[in-house]
Chain A
Amino acid sequence: MSDGAGPSTPSRKRSRWDIDEENDQLEQPQPQPVKRRSKTKSTKTSPAPEQAQHPAATHTELQRTSTVHKRPPHSVFVPPRTLHPPLMPSRSVYCYERLNSIEEGSYGVVFRARDKVTGDIVALKKLKLDEEKNGFPITALREINSLMVCKHENVVGIREVVVGDTLTQVFIVMDFIEHDLKTLLTTMPAPFLQSEVKTLMLQLLSAVAHCHERWILHRDLKTSNLLMNNRGTIKVADFGLARRYGDPVGVGGLTQLVVTLWYRAPEILLGATKYSTAIDMWSVGCIFAELLLKEPLFLAKGEIELLSMIFKLLGPPTPHSWPEYQTLPLAKSISLPPPQLPQLRQKFPHITAAGVDLMSRLLTYDPEMRISAVDALKHPYFSESPLPKHPDLFSSFPSAAAGEKRRKPYESPSAPVRAADHKLLTDFDP
């Protein structure tokens, strides 16, 4: 917790763009711990979009906390008792006014709603509890807990959990974010610029690093689970498959029915029961490729087809590239194609050598060798030209989730086919 890997991206960015403010903060005694603490607090209590009023809030908060706790300098790890939240019962769902439904999935329905008191627009996710025989579903518990544990600039913020009239109505209240990256990618006229891809990747990686640091595996990273607001910030969402992992990993067994097919790491495809943070990193690699290509990297219809597509792009695994390959349960039932060189360079002709290097480190066969989120954040790709673009300079888009109509400047030709394809394939999702 001491290395502060979590919020590294936002603070780095702020330092580049708001130089005066950073200086101000440095003058305060022990800026690091207080800043982080007040950040969590302000995201919880301040309802307004954080990006806009964040600097001011941080500043006043900072002064207050530093004057109060001057006497004994408290350790970061022992926050004063007053910072602990009180024991509060769930509020009623009637504190919110329903606006429109955003989407419906296997987990339940998501509504857009307005807080009746503050007027904030939020997303309400209704959990499906009707057919539960074993009490409150463990998956929903994991989701709520993961969201609460993983509070981060680039993780969708959970505000509270509210209940309806009966015990079967439970809603997770989250910050409303205008877009998901999947819809954005299929509808935007031109792909993201290199500088934009870097910003998005840095945000994604810092969120994933934050989750992994807190012992949470997301297990379903994909572009449709990455939300993006109109201020160039992406938020990792849908922790419906997330769970805690331990050291050693996989005690008690982990399910293989995780991660949407296209983003599923080869070790899960081959039946590994002990997997870890590396599976999320593979998904990050697939997302990286998708941001560059504007379409999913592996558009496979089944697991076998996916494996052969992976083998084709990266070359089949060798004892050198993946020593444990033969020990995996399903490895024997798969015949490897003849050896062949990786095709990454040909697939991505327009990115730099550093970009290809990062991609190949994310899409590394051997989970042990695959790059971690913390290391990926330090990859040279992010420090070479073009540098990551500041989020505020991103263009904004009409939000489908908020029911906004987009003007059609010109037809994006392949979208309908792909959208249909996508729907067909997500039906396979566990």
Chain B
Amino acid sequence: MSTSLYPLASLPQIEKTPSREDGIPGDLEEDLRAYGCKLIHEAGILLKQKQVAVATAQILFQRFWFATSMKQFGIGDIGMGALYLASKLEECPVRIRDLVNVYDLLLQRKAHIRAQAVASSLASTSSSTPSWSELKYTPMSYFGNTFYDLKEAVVVAEMQILKRLGFNLTVVLPYNTLVNYLRVLGLTSREDVCTKAWGYLNDAPSVEARLQTPVYALYSVPTIVCAAILLTTRHLGIALPSAPENCWWELFDAEWEDLSSVCGWIMRLYRERSLEDHTRVMGMVAKKGVRQWLEEHRSVGGEVR
């Protein structure tokens, strides 16, 4: 499989993503991408879907936003479509109804948390972190319009992903490459190294596995795997030959600039975020939220200019 060439975003696509073209700032796009991936991951867990399908879905999702603006499609719909499509690709299809129900539950939870957060910020009692434990979830009716609308959204999103990615759905996952590289470096005996590196591949803060950054649409798998190993070994204080002429990553055809860029993408996920930043994205799962945000900020921006 290693000889199959998976598509990567081109330089113009990276320099100016369609969303940024539409006036969505880079950090907001980054947050929305990460949030969409998180939803895919959580839906995957609820659906008991295989990790390969979830990871494939997240990579397709990330690629999609190099071809399309978030003003045109919502991260929720495209996330559903990506998971639905990836499940077929990995030969473990899910039922549309299950997918729709799971997303509905997740989004209701998020709405609940957001409402709580808003309420607590108004009351300025930030002692309790918002949770969905008190949420009373009401499932949608079996033949209701909500279901048919969401089902239609899944089918449309799937088709849009296919069309906008030119039906090239070749995805190469990094996991076996990681195992091989760790073996070459003689690090497989260190369980902490394996776990941590695996986590960095998924950008996981220990518990939740997710591929939240766009790096899989930007760099080749060997580079990403090397970055995960670099972060791990630096973090755990393991010395590997890193002086010029003798750099271990050159063994795997990775370049230093690319490595540091991938590490930057990953580490940016771990930066301190305000509660406001967290709740902001929850209101923009649909394109309506994004458009509304753009409206509000365009007027402000216009005044400033």
Which residues from chain A sit less than 8 Å from chain B, CB to CB? 1, 36, 40, 72, 74-79, 81, 83-91, 134-136, 138, 141, 144-145, 148-149, 160-161, 163, 167, 170, 214-215, 243-244, 252
Closest to B68 in A: A89
CA–CA, A145 and B91, complex, Å:
12
Contact assessment for B167 and A84 in the assembled complex, using a CB-CB cutoff below 8 Å? no
B104 interface hit (Cβ, 8 Å): no
A136 touches B85 (CB 8 A): yes
Pair A138/B93 contact, Cβ less than 8 Å = yes
Are B220 and A84 in contact (CB-based, < 8 A)?
yes
Counting chain B CB atoms within 10 Å of each CB, which of A36, A85, A170 scores highest?
A85
- Asked if residues A86 and B158 are in contact (CB atoms below 8 Å), the reply is no
Nearest CB on B from A356, distance (A): 37
- State which of B91, B154, B220 has its C-beta within 8 Å of the C-beta of A252: B91
Bound: A414/B92 CA distance, A: 47
B195 contacts partner chain A, Cβ-Cβ < 8 Å: no
B91–A86 touching, CB < 8 Å: no
Q: Which residues of B contact A87 (CB under 8 A)?
A: 7-10, 13, 63, 66-67, 165-166, 168, 217
Q: Which residues of B contact A77 (CB under 8 A)?
A: 2-3, 222
Q: For the complex, what is the distance from the CA of A243 to the CA of B90, rounded to whole Å? A: 10
Q: Which of A81, A85, A215, A244 contacts B220 (CB 8 A)?
A: A81
Q: Is A84 within 8 A of B7, CB to CB? A: yes
For A40, what are the chain B residues with a Cβ–Cβ distance below 8 Å? Answer: 5
Query: A135: which of B89, B96, B222 is its contact (CB, 8 Å)?
Result: B96
Residues of B within 8 A of A138 (CB): 88, 93
Question: In the complex, are the beta carbons of B222 and A85 less than 8 A apart?
Answer: no
User: Does B1 touch A at the CB level, under 8 Å?
Assistant: yes
On whether the beta carbons of B166 and A88 are closer than 8 Å, the reply is yes
Give A352 to B100 CA distance when docked, in angstroms.
62
With a cutoff of 8 Å between Cβ atoms, the chain A residues found around residue B85 in the complex are 135-136, 141
Chain B minimum-CB-distance residue to A41: B5
Closest chain-B Cβ to A142's Cβ sits at a distance in Å of 9
Contacts of B67 in A (CB 8 A): 87, 89
Partner of B163 from the list A74, A90, A135 (CB cut-off 8 Å) is A90
B residues contacting A by CB (< 8 A) are 1-10, 13, 63, 66-67, 84-85, 88-89, 91-93, 96, 154-156, 158-159, 162-170, 217, 219-220, 222, 250, 252-253
A135 touches B154 (CB 8 A): yes
The distance from the CB of B295 to the nearest CB of chain A, in whole angstroms, is 27
CB A40 to nearest CB in B, in angstroms, measures 7
> When the two chains form their complex, are residues A72 and B253 in contact, meaning their CB atoms are under 8 A apart?
yes
Residues of A within 8 A of B6 (CB): 84
Query: How distant is B163 from chain A, measured CB to nearest CB, in Å?
Result: 5
Q: How distant is A125 from chain B, measured CB to nearest CB, in Å? A: 13
What is the CA–CA distance of A413 and B5 in the complex, to the nearest angstrom? 50
Identify the closest chain A residue to B162 (Cβ): A136
What CA separation (Å) do A149 and B159 show in the bound complex? 21
Chain B residues whose CB sits within 8 angstroms of the CB of A214 once the complex forms: 1, 4
CB distance from A343 to the nearest CB of B (A): 40
Establish whether residues A1 and B2, one from each chain, have CB atoms under 8 Å apart when the complex forms: yes
Most B CB atoms within 10 A — which of A1, A149, A167? A167
Alpha-carbon gap, A160 to B9, bound state (A): 18
Other-chain residue from A75, A79, A86, A91 in contact with B9 (beta carbon distance below 8 A): A86
**Given pairs A87-B67, A135-B96, 13 additional interface contacts (CB within 8 A):** A83-B5, A84-B7, A85-B8, A86-B9, A87-B10, A89-B164, A90-B166, A134-B96, A135-B88, A135-B159, A136-B162, A141-B85, A144-B167
Distance between B269 CB and nearest chain A CB, rounded to angstroms:
22
- Residue of chain B at shortest CB distance from A88: B166
20 pairs, A vs B, C-beta closer than 8 Å = A1-B2, A1-B3, A72-B250, A76-B3, A77-B3, A84-B6, A84-B7, A85-B168, A87-B8, A87-B63, A89-B165, A135-B85, A135-B154, A136-B162, A148-B4, A161-B162, A161-B167, A170-B162, A243-B91, A252-B91
